[in-house]
Amino acid sequence: MSPTPPYDIDAWRNKIPLLRTTIPMNNCSHAPLLDGVREAAERYTASWNQDGMDWDAWVGEVEAARRSFAGLINADPEDVAVCASVSQAVASIAGALDYGGSRHTVVASMAEFPSVGHVWLAHQKLGAQLRWVAVVDGEVPLDGYRSAVDDDTLIVSACHGYYQTGFKQDLDAIVEIARAKGALLFVDAYQTMGTLPIDVTALDVDFLASGNLKYLMGAPGIAFLYVKREIADRLEPTLTGWFGRKNPFAFTVDALDWADGARRFDMGTPPIASAYVARAGMDAIAEVGPAAIQEWTQVLSGRLIEGGRERGLELLGPDDPKRKTPSNAFRSPGDSHRAEALMRERGVLASARGPALRLAPHFYSTLDDVDAALDALAEVFSVLASE
C-alpha cells in the first residue's frame, strides 16, 4: 500500500487553486497561495478600504503574527522581533555586537545564504573578522566548525538548511561546539521552518530568524527574529526605529530607551499587509503540524532521491531524507535557469540555483506529483544535454 500523510491532504489541496493546473515544487523559493492566505490579504485591503486607517487592528495583526511565529518555535512572543527580511534580522544582530574585545571573530559556513555572509562582511569595518567553514560535497562537515570556533569567536552563524543542496545542519552539535568556546549562535532557519518542529528553548540557540515566503506559505515583506531574553536585554542594535522603544507612541525624539526583550529589534512602521499574510500561512502550518509535515516530506524526498537515481539524475548533497530539508537539487546538464523555464512549460515549478535545479515539495504534494516532476525533469535534462 502506498504511504499517505497523517492528515487530510485532499482537503488541503482543495485550498490551493494553483494545484489544478500546476505542480509546485519550488517551496525552497516560494510557496503557492492557500485560500486562507489570500483571504487574509483581502481582509487587510477590506479594512483599509472601509476604515481608511485602523492602526489598532493593524498593529494587533502584527502582534498576532508575532505570536504565531513564537508558537512555531516554542518561544515567548516577547522574545520575537518583527523584521522586513532575514537580511535585516542579521544586520540588526550584527550591528548590536561589539567586535572591539578579545572576541571579534564571526564563524560562518559557506552554506549561508549570500545575504547573511554579506552582512557579516560589511561589519569588518567595525572590527569583525570572518572565518569561513567549508562546504564539502554539498554538506558542511562538523569538523569545520570544530576547527574554526575558538576562544576569539564572538558568534557562529549557521543556516539550518543549505539553500543549494538542502543539506540540514546538525544544530545540536553546532550549539555544543559554540557553547564549548563561549560563542553565541545565530541560526538562519529560512529553509527549514514549516517543514519540521523547531524548539528554540530545547535547542538553546541565541538567535534564530526566518522569513515567510518559502515553507511557511506566506509572502515577502516580513521575517521574524528570535533573541534569547538574557542576550536581548544586553544588546543595543544600531539598526533601530521607533517601534524598538519602550513606548513607541511616547514620541520622544531625544531619548533612546530600549524595549524589553526582542522588541528592541523591531524597527519602523511594521509590515502590516505582510503580517496578515504571514499569520495565515503560519497558522496553516501549525494546523497541519510540523511533525506530520516532516514525516510526509521525508517520504516525498525519499521518492525524489530514489526516482532521480532510477532516471540517471545526479543529486547534489546528501541522499538521506533525514539529513535534508525537502529540497532536492539535481545537477543540470545545461543552464539551470533554462531548465527551470522548460519545467514551467511542462507545468512543473522548480527552482534553479547555480548548477542545479531544485525540486522542493511540501505538505500538500503527492507521490504522483513527485513522479510527474521527475519525468519532466528527466525529459528537460535530456533536451539540454542534446543541445
Ligand X SMILES: Cc1ncc(COP(=O)(O)O)c(C=O)c1O
Residues that bind ligand X (CB under 6 A): 85-87, 113, 115, 159, 163, 188, 190-191, 211, 223
Among 50, 72, 45, which residue's Cα sits nearest to residue 61?
45
Q: Which is nearer to ligand X, 237 or 333 (CB)?
A: 237
Q: How far apart are the C-alpha atoms of 192 and 197, rounded to whole Å?
A: 9
Residue with smaller CB distance to ligand X, 81 or 376: 81
Please identify, using beta-carbon distances, which residue of 223 and 315 lies nearer to ligand X: 223
Q: What is the DSSP secondary-structure string of 72-83?
A: HHT--GGGEEEE
| 275 φ, ψ (degrees, to nearest 5) | -65, -40
CB of 211 or CB of 308, closer to ligand X? 211
Partners of 6 in the beta sheet?
none
Q: How far is the CB of 84 from ligand X (least distance, A)?
A: 8
Cβ of residue 114: shortest distance to ligand X, in angstroms?
A: 8
Q: What three-state secondary structure class fits 32?
A: coil
In the chain, what is the greatest distance between 2 CA atoms, to the nearest angstrom?
69
Min dist. Cβ of residue 109 to ligand X (A): 11
CB nearer ligand X, residue 87 or residue 240:
87
Least gap, CB of 148 to ligand X (angstroms): 20
CB of 300: closest distance to ligand X in angstroms? 19
Task: Name the residue with cell 552554506.
Answer: 111
Q: How many CA atoms lie within 13 A of 377 on its CB side?
A: 35
List Cβ neighbours of 65 (8 Å cut-off, separation of 6 or more): 82, 222, 224, 275, 276, 278, 279, 282
- 8-state DSSP, 62: H
Q: Say how far apart CA 187 and CA 173 lie, in whole Å.
A: 13
Q: Which is nearer to ligand X, 187 or 288 (CB)?
A: 187
Considering the complex, state which of residue 200 and residue 299 has its C-beta at the smaller distance from ligand X.
200
Q: Which residue has the cell 509572502?
A: 219
What is the nearest approach in angstroms of ligand X to the Cβ of residue 115?
5
CB of 207 to ligand X, least distance (A): 13
What pairing do the DSSP bridges indicate for beta strands 105-109 and 129-133?
A: parallel
**Minimum CB distance to ligand X smaller for 214 or for 264:** 214
Closest Cα to residue 349, out of 372, 368, 367, 333?
372
Q: How far is the CB of 215 from ligand X (least distance, A)?
A: 10
Return d(Cα 381, Cα 1) in angstroms, integer: 31
The 8-class DSSP code of residue 250 comes to G
Rg of the Cα trace of the chain?
21
